Chain A
Amino acid sequence: MPENRNGATSAAPRGAAKADPADAVSGEGPDVRAERDHLAISRLADDLLPALIAKLTATGLGEIEVREGSWKARLRRPAGSDEARRVAAWSSLDGHSGHGHASGRGPAASHGRGAAEERDRRAREEEEAEELARLPIVATSPAVGIYQPRKDLAVGMRVRAGDRIGTVDVLGVREDVIAPADGVIGSSMAEAGEAVEYGQELIRIELPENARGLHADGADREAAAVLGEA
């Protein structure tokens, strides 16, 4: 690929990525398809991964997968981690153990998958996706320094994953606070001008009612989460 490919990708506005599913069926050449793939991967990496990481950290889920078109990004917590065990315990307390998150999956899967099982799995995934969508998402500090939220920021304002919603001043150099997911601005967890540490929770991002709201642009993207499978 010529060098300008990279330049074009990094400079591509969000709109380019959004427009992408619309011409998914047009008969374009390999170059255009490659460009589209590139943008899709780029969007997965830039926008979705931080959101996934934030969710995985915040929720202690065992595994999260997001699909966009034919692309899939999956994050899995190392097996047997304390967090996974803790979450398994927590979800059983919460009345979800009947769906067999951690325990039900392994042995059943090894017997091959019948249609009923497949239905179960889908139902479970849908339910878990909804559960995931209800969990709070928080924008965190990218560095240790002095925090300033974006001036025009207000509770209820709609933001997209990857939007800059504030800065942390590190010895005069501003590092961006990024919205980890699409949603609306919720409550603040730090004051303007406050000293913050790396990873400190700064602003809640409220999600719309259900997981479908996560991809409100109507693209063929779906989110699924599997509790405690890792």
Chain B
Amino acid sequence: MFSKILIANRGEIALRILRACRTIGIGAVVAYSEADRDSLAAQLADEAICIGPSDARRSYLSAPAVISAAVVTGCDAIHPGYGFLSEDEGFADVVRAHGLTFIGPSAEVLERFASKEATRRLLEAHGLRTIPGSGTLRDEAHALEEAERISYPVLIKPSGGGGGKGMRLVRTARELEAIFKVSRSEAKAAFGDDALYMEKYLGDNRHVEIQVAVDRFGHAIHLGERDCSVQRRHQKIIEETPSPALTEAERQDLCQRAVRAVVEAGYENLGTLEFLVDSRGEAYFIEINCRIQVEHPITEMCTGIDLIALQIKIAAGEPLGINQADVVSRGHAIEFRILAEDPSNDFRPQGGQVLGYLAPGGPGVRMDSHLYPGYEVPPYYDSLLGKLSVWAPDRAQAIARGDAALRELLVDGLTTNIELHRAILANQVFIDGKVTTDLLDRVGSAPFVAAGNR
């Protein structure tokens, strides 16, 4: 096992990793940027080190800065969290070259799963259904040809992208002609790679993902699924487990096929396979996330397994130590992403000082947040202020606990989406478990908030 881990991330996930390290008795050093000097993780850590200026490219995204910090503080492993360098195979490789361990899949595994398109082909070959789609689009003519073959509507996606960024819905050949070049240059600007591919757009679909864990010896378990259908512009905002979209038989089938496919494809460490489930209950594999996910707490609440601790253990080369039979998912959990943005003002991110902060409590309530009264939210990073997760024996009670906790949660000084969450919980479509990924974008958030206020 490691003696000391460098936490190369910020915000709530830095705090979450610090807590895991303390729980399992491993030392931790929090690496922070100049803008995060006052962050909670940096303050709570036994050891913290400033790795660069606020610009993430010179701090959290700088491999030399992160690795140098690990070396000079005597760490033997680096936890990258999510985002930033978490799925960068080049970084994982350099970490290893400096005699350190990257907490995540090895560079080879990351490389094998780096291209979404290649990953879809790979896992298709191992028994997962994928959405009809194209290979890399050579040019506009090729794109038009492929769209004709697959049939409109289609989604244009950057091969190097993630999290729904840079994705575009195209309904006609004319639209495709209008956006192709723009999408390409946007992909280049955002991900450094202008490769695009195309997928059939499934109308009323749900986003369901399977959490897997695979150790170095090829032993694997799944930890059930998460339903992330409540999205806004392809960004998840509420996640729950189990998914209301699947029957028990469908769930078992999908989880088993997923875990079998990744093991056969040579995956290692924690991973999440994302699927779109259509209105007939067919699940199509879309991508794999080779990192800890933002929404991991709901899986932890239902299974009782500390996923970060498990991830560290696998990276240290230890066997999983548990079998599938040991993984028992109980009850229902829901996570709300608390964001510093204004739903009534086109979701514009809001920075500023937290004047007051009060985290909710009670049975089955968990708050993962780096906020504290007086904390100044830096404007340089994402708008995630924290994650409120609730657990209850069944979905109806989880919704009730969620609403009670959201009412209690106080974030004074910033505009947040707390009221939007409450409005969604009160909406009949959500209560019926029938939210599809495009609902919020189609209806707009205003009707939700307006209905919620009545």
A-to-B contact residues, CB < 8 Å = 143-146, 170-171, 173, 195-200
Q: Pick the contact of A170 from B49, B59, B65 — CB < 8 Å?
A: B65
The docked-state distance in angstroms from the alpha carbon of A54 to that of B229 is 49
Contact A144 B69 (CB under 8 A): yes
Q: Which one of B34, B51, B98 has the greatest number of beta carbons of chain A within 10 Å?
A: B51
Q: Pick the contact of A195 from B64, B72, B98 — CB < 8 Å?
A: B72
Contact B64 A197 (CB under 8 A): no
Which residues of the other chain, B, contact A173 by a CB distance below 8 angstroms?
Answer: 64
Contact B72 A198 (CB under 8 A): no
Q: Pick the contact of A199 from B50, B68, B73, B98 — CB < 8 Å?
A: B50
Knowing A170-B65, A171-B64 touch, does A198 contact B53 (C-beta < 8 A)?
yes
The docked-state distance in angstroms from the alpha carbon of A196 to that of B65 is 12
Which residues of the other chain, A, contact B49 by a CB distance below 8 angstroms?
Answer: 144, 197
A91 shortest CB reach to chain B, Å: 23
Contact A198 B73 (CB under 8 A): no
Interface size class of B (residues with CB under 8 A): 10 to 19
Knowing A195-B73, A197-B50, A198-B53 touch, does A144 contact B65 (C-beta < 8 A)?
yes
A52 shortest CB reach to chain B, Å: 16
Interface residue? B11 (CB, 8 A)? no
Contact A198 B71 (CB under 8 A): no
Contact A200 B65 (CB under 8 A): no
B77 shortest CB reach to chain A, Å: 17
Interface residue? B224 (CB, 8 A)? no
B-to-A contact residues, CB < 8 Å = 34, 49-53, 59, 64-65, 67-69, 71-73, 98
B96 shortest CB reach to chain A, Å: 14
Contact A145 B68 (CB under 8 A): yes
Which residues of the other chain, B, contact A198 by a CB distance below 8 angstroms?
Answer: 34, 50-53, 59, 65
Contact A144 B98 (CB under 8 A): no
B59's closest neighbor in chain A, by CB? A198
A115 shortest CB reach to chain B, Å: 42
A194's closest neighbor in chain B, by CB? B72
Which residues of the other chain, B, contact A144 by a CB distance below 8 angstroms?
Answer: 49-52, 65, 68-69, 72
**Can you list 19 residue pairs at the A/B interface with Cβ under 8 Å?**
A143-B52, A143-B68, A144-B49, A144-B51, A144-B52, A144-B72, A145-B68, A146-B72, A170-B65, A170-B68, A171-B64, A171-B67, A171-B68, A171-B98, A195-B73, A197-B51, A197-B69, A198-B65, A199-B50
The docked-state distance in angstroms from the alpha carbon of A197 to that of B31 is 10
Which residues of the other chain, B, contact A143 by a CB distance below 8 angstroms?
Answer: 52, 64-65, 68
Q: Which one of B34, B69, B98 has the greatest number of beta carbons of chain A within 10 Å?
A: B69
Which residues of the other chain, B, contact A197 by a CB distance below 8 angstroms?
Answer: 49-51, 69
Which residues of the other chain, A, contact B65 by a CB distance below 8 angstroms?
Answer: 143-144, 170, 198
The docked-state distance in angstroms from the alpha carbon of A195 to that of B74 is 10
The docked-state distance in angstroms from the alpha carbon of A196 to that of B51 is 10
Contact B52 A171 (CB under 8 A): no
Contact B50 A200 (CB under 8 A): yes
B97's closest neighbor in chain A, by CB? A171
The docked-state distance in angstroms from the alpha carbon of A170 to that of B51 is 11
Contact A170 B50 (CB under 8 A): no
Which residues of the other chain, A, contact B50 by a CB distance below 8 angstroms?
Answer: 144, 197-200
Q: List 14 extra interface pairs beyond A143-B68, A198-B50, CB under 8 A.
A: A143-B64, A144-B68, A144-B69, A144-B72, A170-B68, A171-B64, A171-B67, A171-B98, A196-B72, A197-B51, A197-B69, A198-B51, A198-B59, A200-B50
B374's closest neighbor in chain A, by CB? A82
Which residues of the other chain, B, contact A146 by a CB distance below 8 angstroms?
Answer: 72
B376's closest neighbor in chain A, by CB? A82
Contact A171 B51 (CB under 8 A): no
